[in-house]
Amino acid sequence: MLEFRAYSPENLIAVSPLIAQSPLLCSDVSLGAFLMWNQGLGVEFAVYHNTFIAKVDIGDEPAFSYPFGEDVDGALDALCRYTAKQDTALTFYAVNEELLASLKADKRFDSVCANYDRRWSDYLYSFEEMTTFAGRKFSGQRNHINRFKKTYGEPDLRPIQSADIPAIHEMLAEYRQHHSGGGMEKAELEGTYTLLDRFADLGMIGCVLYVDDKVAGFTIGELVGTTFVIHVEKALTVYTGVYPTLFHHFMRYIRTHIDQPILLVNREDDSGDLGLRTSKMQYQPIRILHKFMVRVNSPLCKIGEIGVISFDGGVLTELEEFDKANYFALCTDKTNNQYWGYDYENDRYITEVDENTFFDSQKYDRSLGASVTFAVREREGGELVGETIVYRFTAGGHAEIGGRIAASHQGKGLGTKAFAATADFAERVLRVKPVAKCYKPNLPSAHMIRSAGFRQVGEDDTFYYFER
C-alpha cells in the first residue's frame, strides 16, 4: 500500500534524488515548485519501488503526479488501490500530451477525461539557443542586452551568497511597490522568500545581478532530468534591458557550472498575464507545454449532452452563454453564499474576475469529469435563478450534491425540488450514491436536504452529513 508523507523540508530533501530524475519536463514536479507552493496544497510524497508520486489538493480533492522511476506500472496499480481504499477519485495533474496518450490507452481505466488551462502552460526553450541568442530571431534580445551594457557596463552577475540576501530583500521590497497584483502574484512572492531561504540546501542554483553595488535582479533554478527549470526571475525594470540580461547571463553561467547534459529551459507559465505571455513568446519557445488535469473512471466521462431535466415547478439544464450575468451575480452574492463553502476572493488561482470567470470554471470542471453544474430555471428557456451541482465523485461510487438559489427566488420550495431532481439524476443516470453536507448554522439548508429525501448520517464541528 502506498504511504504518503506530508510535506516538510526534510521530506523534500529525502526525495530530492528521485525528483531530480523526473522526465516530465514540467515545472510542477520539482524541488522549487514543492518548496514555493506547498502552502494550501497539502503536498505529500510517496515512493513505491523507487518510483516517485506526489499528491496535492486541487479544489479540495487529491490529485497525483504521474509516477516516474523504476516501476511505473506497479505504481499505477498501487494508486488505483490507494484511491479505492480512500474512496476518492483518481486524478492526475501536470500530465503532458505523451502521458495523456498513455493514460487513454491504459486498460486499467474505463474512461479518461482531460483538459488544460492555457494560463498554466509552461514555456520550453532550447538551452543552447538561450546561451547564445544567435541569429536574427533573437536580435531584439541582443539589442536589449547591448543597451544594458552601454548604460551600466558589463553585467555583474554573481552566484547568490548569504551576504547577498539582505540586499535582495531590499530589492524585493522595491519590486513589491510596483507589483500589488492578485492572490497568485502575492502567493508567488511569498514563495520567493521561502525559496531564497532554502534553495542552496536543496542544491538549486541562484545568481544575483548587481548595478553599482545595488541588486538589479536575481534568479533561481534547478536541473530536473535534462531540463533546467527557472522558478524565480525578479528584476527592477528601471534598469534598461535588465530581464534579457539577467536571463541570458544566467544561462551562460549554468552552461559553465553544470557538467550534466541540458537540453531545455523551462521558464514556467504566464498565469494568464497577456504582457508576460507576449514577453515569453518573444524568446521563441520550441514548445508550449500544456499540462493536463486528467480524471479517470468518472461517470461524467461516459455521457454526452444531458438535455433538460424537468421537475414540478421548474427545470434543470447545463449552463448556457446567456446565463453568464445571472450566474456571476449568484456566485458573487456574499450574503447569500456565506454558507456555500467557497470564497472566490481567497482563491489564488483566480487571476481575473468577470462574467466569464465562474462560467468558464464550471465548463472546465465538466470537461474533466470533475463535476456537472445545472442552471435552475422556473421554466424551459427561462433565466437562471439558482444552481445545483454533482461533484466529488469517488472510487466507491459516491457523489456529492450541492445547490443554491438566488435570494430573490428563495422561499418557494424551488431549491428542495431542484436538489431532489439533481439527486435523482445522479442515481438514475450516473449510477452513483448521492451524499450531501451543510454548515451546522445553516438550518434552512439542512431542512432542504432532508426534504429532498436525504437522512443525516453524521456530524462534526462544522458540518452535518447526509446520505440518500
In the prediction, which pLDDT does 348 show? 67
**3-class SS of residue 57:** strand
* Beta carbons of 58 and 91 less than 8 angstroms apart: yes
**Rounded to an integer, what distance in angstroms lies between the CA atom of residue 282 and that of residue 198?**
31
Q: Is the pLDDT of residue 181 over 70?
A: no
* Beta carbons of 272 and 119 less than 8 angstroms apart: yes
Count the Cβ atoms, other than its own, within 10 Å of residue 273: 17
Q: Is the pLDDT of residue 221 over 70?
A: yes
pTM greater than the 0.85 cutoff: yes
Give the pLDDT band of residue 182 (cuts 50, 70, 90): low
Superfamily grouping for domain 122-268 = Gcn5-related N-acetyltransferase (GNAT) (3.40.630.30)
* Beta carbons of 387 and 375 less than 8 angstroms apart: yes
What tens digit of pLDDT does each residue of 298-321 get? 999 989 899 999 999 999 999 999
Category of 277 on φ-ψ map: left (φ > 0), alpha (ψ -120 to 50) or beta? alpha
**Rounded to an integer, what distance in angstroms lies between the CA atom of residue 400 and that of residue 398?**
7
**Rounded to an integer, what distance in angstroms lies between the CA atom of residue 198 and that of residue 368?**
36
In the prediction, which pLDDT does 155 show? 98
What tens digit of pLDDT does each residue of 190-205 get? 999 999 999 999 999 9
Give the pLDDT band of residue 160 (cuts 50, 70, 90): very high
Task: Find the mean pLDDT for residues 61-82.
Answer: 97
Task: Find the mean pLDDT for residues 440-468.
Answer: 95
**Rounded to an integer, what distance in angstroms lies between the CA atom of residue 19 and that of residue 208?**
25
Q: Which triple of cell numbers denotes residue 370?
A: 470533475
Q: Is the pLDDT of residue 97 over 80?
A: yes
Give the pLDDT band of residue 415 (cuts 50, 70, 90): very high
Q: Closest Cα to residue 130, out of 288, 282, 291, 257?
A: 282
In the prediction, which pLDDT does 180 show? 65
Cα-Cα-Cα-Cα dihedral sign, residues 290, 291, 296, 298: negative
Angle between helices 242-257 and 139-152 (to 10 degrees): 100
Q: Is the pLDDT of residue 8 over 70?
A: yes
Task: Find the mean pLDDT for residues 112-130.
Answer: 97
In the prediction, which pLDDT does 237 show? 96
Count the Cβ atoms, other than its own, within 10 Å of residue 247: 24
* Beta carbons of 33 and 291 less than 8 angstroms apart: no
Superfamily grouping for domain 299-467 = Gcn5-related N-acetyltransferase (GNAT) (3.40.630.30)
Task: Find the mean pLDDT for residues 7-35.
Answer: 96
**Rounded to an integer, what distance in angstroms lies between the CA atom of residue 7 and that of residue 39?**
10
Superfamily grouping for domain 5-116+291-296 = Gcn5-related N-acetyltransferase (GNAT) (3.40.630.30)
Residue 433 Cα to chain centre, angstroms: 28
Strand (E) or helix (H) holding 104: helix 97-105
In the prediction, which pLDDT does 317 show? 98
**Rounded to an integer, what distance in angstroms lies between the CA atom of residue 231 and that of residue 125?**
15
Task: Find the mean pLDDT for residues 229-246.
Answer: 97
**Rounded to an integer, what distance in angstroms lies between the CA atom of residue 207 and that of residue 156?**
10
What tens digit of pLDDT does each residue of 370-393 get? 999 999 999 999 999 999 999 999
Q: Report the chain's terminal Cα–Cα distance, integer Å.
A: 31
What is the 8-class DSSP label of residue 67? P
Q: How are beta strands 398-405 and 433-439 bridged, if at all? A: parallel
Question: Which residue did the predictor score with more confidence, 186 or 276?
Answer: 276
Domain boundaries, the chain: 5-116+291-296, 122-268, 299-467
What tens digit of pLDDT does each residue of 36-65 get? 999 888 999 999 999 999 999 998 899 999
**Rounded to an integer, what distance in angstroms lies between the CA atom of residue 468 and that of residue 427?**
10
**Rounded to an integer, what distance in angstroms lies between the CA atom of residue 404 and that of residue 385?**
9
Cell 453544474, residue located = 373
* Beta carbons of 287 and 127 less than 8 angstroms apart: no
Cell 482563491, residue located = 347
Cα-Cα-Cα-Cα dihedral sign, residues 362, 358, 117, 41: negative
Q: Do domains 5-116+291-296 and 299-467 have the same CATH topology?
A: yes
Biggest CA-to-CA distance, the chain: 77
Beta bridge partners of 293: 115
